[in-house]
Each structure stands twice: as C-alpha cells, then as structure tokens.
C-alpha cells in the first residue's frame, strides 16, 4: 500500500510559507498551495 502524503500550505507565495512548501515537496509530499499572488507561485 502506498503512502499518500498531502499537505496544504497557506501563504505559500512568499517567506516562511514558500520555504515550507518547498521543503515538503522535496520530502515527497504532494503540496497544495494557497497564496495571494499567483504570479509569485512556487516553481
């Protein structure tokens, strides 16, 4: 059985939220992002 690891990160377009989103993605999580500025999305 595969492990489903999903995280939702608010404030993910800048600062701490962006860092957390990147770290979770690097750790194998599927990450749902939420922020105020779509143009500053995490790549």
CA distance 10 to 27: 18
* Count of residues in the chain: 43
Is the model more confident about 37 or about 31? 31
Write down the pLDDT at residue 13.
Answer: 81
Is the model more confident about 35 or about 26? 26
Given a cut of 90, whether residue 28 has pLDDT beyond it is yes
Given a cut of 50, whether residue 1 has pLDDT beyond it is no
Given a cut of 80, whether residue 11 has pLDDT beyond it is yes
Q: What percent of the chain has pLDDT over 70?
A: 81
3-state secondary structure the chain: CCCCCEEEEECCCCHHHHHHHHHHHHCCCEEEEECCCHHHCCC
Q: Is the pTM of this model over 0.85?
A: no
């Amino acid at each position: 059985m595969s492990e489903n690891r999903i995280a939702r990160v608010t404030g993910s377009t800048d600062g701490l939220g962006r860092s957390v989103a990147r770290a979770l993605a690097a750790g194998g999580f599927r990450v749902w992002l939420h922020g105020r500025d779509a143009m500053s999305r995490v790549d």
